[in-house]
Amino acid sequence: MERVKRHLEEELRQIANKIRINAIKVIDREKMVVTGHLRNSIQTKITIKENDAYITVYVAEGGRIKGSTKYPKFLHEGIEPHMPPVDAIKEWVRKKGIAKKEIGLKKNMRGKSKQDIMEKKIESIAWAIAINMKKKGRKPTPFLDLAVKMTFNQLGVSS
């Protein structure tokens, strides 16, 4: 019986690893990568009890952004329209490099430093995103659910 349990555990471990890899693929495909913390924090856990065996897929502590354990949940489940904290969005815009793409190779304007121009652009982008979230919220990107479905499809299992 112990041999069967070890075999089951190994099979579940392989499936769990495929789910984790597929979650990372979804995160990359959906361009949800800023720092890499989220994609690196996808974890799986195998549990085998007397009459139960299951895989738990979750985002470990490292998936949080600036202390927010809600960030992965917001991405996965979406959020209702509300005014988010602009400072957190500014940090996201900064890390994502969006303002650099917007500014390009513009020369200094009216004696302002490139840093001043960059900060003004970051703030402008962050406010635009915040206002959009206030009006529309954020649609869900259920990356863990999608990863499980992808894995089941790869294994030829209907979900």
| pLDDT at residue number 46 | 94
Neighbours of 108 (CB within 10 A): 10
Q: Does the residue 100 lie in any domain?
A: yes
Q: Are residues 65 and 8 in the same domain?
A: yes
Write the CA distances from 32 to 1, 5, 83, 106, integer angstroms: 44, 37, 21, 28
Q: Is residue 53 part of a domain?
A: yes
pTM of the model: 0.77
64 and 41 in a common domain: yes
Instruction: Please indicate, yes or no, whether residues 91 and 109 belong to a single structural domain of this protein.
Output: yes
Beta partners for residue 79, in sequence order: 138
Q: 11 and 57 share a domain?
A: yes
User: Residue 95 corresponds to which tokens in the numbers above?
Assistant: 């890390």
Residue 141 tokens, joined = 């990107």
Residue 52 lies in a domain: yes
Look at residue 157 in the predicted model and tell me its pLDDT. 87
Do 115 and 148 fall into the same domain?
A: no
For residue range 114-136, list pLDDT tens digits in order.
788 889 999 999 999 999 999 99
In the prediction, which pLDDT does 25 show? 97
Interval 101-111: pLDDT, tens: 655 545 545 66
Per-residue pLDDT at 66: 47
Quote the pLDDT of residue 1. 73
Are 36 and 93 members of one domain?
no
Residue 75 lies in a domain: no
d(CA 129, CA 102): 14
DSSP letter string over 36-73?
SHHHHTEEEEEEE-SS-EEEEEEE-GGG-BTTBTTHHH
Q: Is residue 74 situated within a structural domain? A: no
Residue range 71-87: average pLDDT?
A: 91
Whether 103 is in a domain gets the answer yes
Give the pLDDT confidence of 14-73 residue by residue, as tens digits. 999 999 999 999 999 998 888 888 888 899 999 998 889 999 998 886 554 444 567 788
Tell me: do 128 and 146 sit in the same domain. no
Write down the pLDDT at residue 104: 53
Domain total in the chain = 2
151 and 95 both lie in a single domain: no
DSSP state of 137: -
pLDDT at position 110 is 62
Domain that holds residue 41: 2-69+140-155
> Of 40, 44, 54, 52, whose CA–CA distance to 19 is shortest?
44
> Would you state the pLDDT for residue 33?
85
Helix (H, G, I), strand (E, B), or coil: what is residue 111?
A: coil
31, part of any domain: yes
Does 47 fall in a domain? yes
